[in-house]
Amino acid sequence: EMQLVQSGGGSVQAGGSLRLSCTASGFTFHSYAIAWFRQAAGKEREGVSCFSATDGRTYYQNSVKGRFTISSDNTMTTVYLEMNNLKPDDTAIYYCAAERFPPQLLPNQWQQWRAYDYWGQGAQVTVSS
């Protein structure tokens, strides 16, 4: 059975750092796009970042560029989201997701959360001011 298992998250003060992990169980990330989404209370789920295992490209939402870094381990079984200089607006439940996209469509599709079939269980990130 294909599963995504998340770890990490927690509570920090503004300016602090956290790291989220997303580990594949029953498959590897080869040929998949792995994305991080977040959903704040009362808001729509939004794409934060995406890593393409096909070509190594990374994508970021504008609000996290320069602060968040997405990466993968060498075995292509775990993807990380390193979050630095966290702000209260980053407070949300963070989810990882995986899907196969044609590489040429990924730049326009990675933020479409409904297109992903595989999801992690979610992790709360709380940033206090």
CB 128 within 8 A of CB 13: yes
End-to-end CA, the chain = 41
29-69 confidence digits (pLDDT tens): 999 999 999 999 999 999 999 999 999 999 999 999 999 99
Reading the block at residue 13, the tokens are: 């003060």
Reading the block at residue 126, the tokens are: 């709380």
Residue 103: per-residue pLDDT? 83
CA–CA separation, 62 vs 7, rounded Å?
A: 24
